Amino acid sequence: MSDMQMTDIRARFNISYGNFKLDVDLTIPGHGVTALFGPSGSGKTTILRAMTGIERFAGTYLAINDEVWQDDAAGIFLHTYKRPLGYVFQEASLFAHLNVRRNLEYGMRRIPEAARRVSLDHVVALLDIGHLMARQPEKLSGGERQRVAIARALATSPRILLMDEPLAALDPKRKEEIMPYLQRLHDELDIPVVYVSHSPDEVARLADHLVLLDGGKVVGSGATAELMTRLDLDVAHGDAASALVSATVVAHDAEYHLTSVEFSGGRLLLPQQQATIGQSVRVRIQARDVSLSLAPQCDTSILNIVAATVTELSADAAGQVMVGLDANGTRLLARITCKSCVAMDLVAGKSLYAQIKGIAILK
């Protein structure tokens, strides 16, 4: 076992707080972004805290890639201050008496030079905060403060970055501003991120892997695109339910201001994007934006119609059915009325056409 290259994060926690019990045994990828998603009180923050070692919980096992940080059975416990992790909270906790540069250097200085794997210049460029270096924290906007907090966490060359609802305190405009930085961080740094969120939108945009929590238990863990369309899970139901589709940008149509992308099920047109031809993109198709038809329609304003097969049907809100679809290997969801479902005589295996009204490129 010891000479085996481990590239996973393994976490086993058994924690009791009065009536609340957290009992999880997780293996998640040692790279990319993993979102912990679930209702309030489901144990998301408790998992992050347990990873920090701030409290020592009996029966814990925690290994980050090839490093075991805690194994109670073997008597291993790495103290918090020795765990190379970055932690970003909902509200940026910068040192108020230090300017931005000193805040960043403070984190960096704790790390011996030989252990530094991320340069300050790289972090500053990544989060675009070069122009803020001389500012005091109280003179930063909420979004800027959060970018500095992320930079400070990264400047310590962590082996893992823990983020606890880092956008929750920001208004929608600031959230939108900071999102590209989080996506860049994901693309450019090889540091695994565990990201706590309540927001299906953040999860869809950022997470490669998703861990669904409820009442201190894991109810699902897997690739985000796969879990979001699993009809046995709550996340694939309701108004926010959507499919994430991997696609490639294939053309721009300047005359009609459209961009076309290709996925396994065919081509999709969407309002013109900045993306370059050949670029891989993640596209979101919301279940409520998909209608179904048994014959291909040509007298319709809907541009995107793809052939698909029904894989399963599941009751949704009153009078609504969530239909799972397979479009030549890509999972899609359609939320339709029970009345239409009966009228169309939908059953698993039926071939039909999905008419897609709204599509968004997420990254």
Ligand X SMILES: Nc1ncnc2c1ncn2[C@@H]1O[C@H](COP(=O)(O)OP(=O)(O)OP(=O)(O)O)[C@@H](O)[C@H]1O
Q: Which of 309, 289, 306 is nearest to 357 (CA)?
A: 289
Burial of 55 per CB tally in 10 Å (0-12, 13-18, 19+): exposed
Tell me if 44 contacts ligand X by CB under 6 A: yes
SS3 track for the chain: CCCCCCCEEEEEEEEEECCEEEEEEEEEECCCEEEEECCCCCCHHHHHHHHHCCCCCCCCEEEECCEEEEEHHHCEECCHHHCCEEEECCCCCCCCCCCHHHHHHHHHHCCCHHHCCCCHHHHHHHCCCHHHCCCCHHHCCHHHHHHHHHHHHHCCCCCEEEEECCCCCCCHHHHHHHHHHHHHHHHHCCCCEEEEECCHHHHHHHCCEEEEEECCEEEEEEEHHHHCCCCCCHHHCCCCCEEEEEEEEEEEECCCCEEEEEECCEEEEEECCCCCCCCEEEEEEEHHHEEEECCCCCCCCCCEEEEEEEEEEEECCCCEEEEEEEECCEEEEEEEEHHHHHHCCCCCCCEEEEEECCCEECC
**Binds ligand X (CB under 6 A): choice among 45, 183, 248, 311:** 45
* 28 vs 354, beta carbon nearer ligand X: 28
* CB 334, CB 253: distance < 8 Å: no
Candidates 39-47, 129-137, 336-344, 349-357 — which segment interacts with ligand X by CB under 6 A? 39-47
Token readout for 239 is 């108004």
**Binds ligand X (CB under 6 A): choice among 5, 40, 274, 276:** 40
* 43 vs 137, beta carbon nearer ligand X: 43
* 42 vs 320, beta carbon nearer ligand X: 42
In the stretch 193-212, what mask flags binding to ligand X with x, by CB under 6 A?
-----x--------------
**Binds ligand X (CB under 6 A): choice among 30, 43, 53, 86:** 43
Query: By rule CB under 6 A, what count of residues binds ligand X?
Result: 11
Tell me if 95 contacts ligand X by CB under 6 A: no
**Binds ligand X (CB under 6 A): choice among 17, 21, 66, 277:** 17
Candidates 44-52, 140-148, 180-188, 271-279 — which segment interacts with ligand X by CB under 6 A? 44-52
Q: Which of 291, 285, 360 is nearest to 321 (CA)?
A: 291
Closest approach of ligand X to the CB of residue 166, in Å: 13
Token readout for 176 is 């939108």
Candidates 37-45, 134-142, 223-231, 235-243 — which segment interacts with ligand X by CB under 6 A? 37-45
Candidates 33-41, 276-284, 338-346, 351-359 — which segment interacts with ligand X by CB under 6 A? 33-41
* 17 vs 95, beta carbon nearer ligand X: 17
Closest approach of ligand X to the CB of residue 58, in Å: 15
Tell me if 53 contacts ligand X by CB under 6 A: no
CA 263 to chain centre: 21
Closest approach of ligand X to the CB of residue 44, in Å: 4
How wide is the angle at C-alpha 146 spanned by C-alphas 140 and 147, nearest 5°? 90
* 20 vs 256, beta carbon nearer ligand X: 20
* 42 vs 103, beta carbon nearer ligand X: 42
Closest approach of ligand X to the CB of residue 80, in Å: 15
* 65 vs 90, beta carbon nearer ligand X: 90
Tell me if 41 contacts ligand X by CB under 6 A: yes
Candidates 42-50, 117-125, 199-207, 228-236 — which segment interacts with ligand X by CB under 6 A? 42-50
Candidates 40-48, 100-108, 134-142, 149-157 — which segment interacts with ligand X by CB under 6 A? 40-48
* 41 vs 296, beta carbon nearer ligand X: 41
Closest approach of ligand X to the CB of residue 15, in Å: 8
Q: What are the residues binding ligand X (CB under 6 A)?
A: 17, 20, 38, 40-46, 198
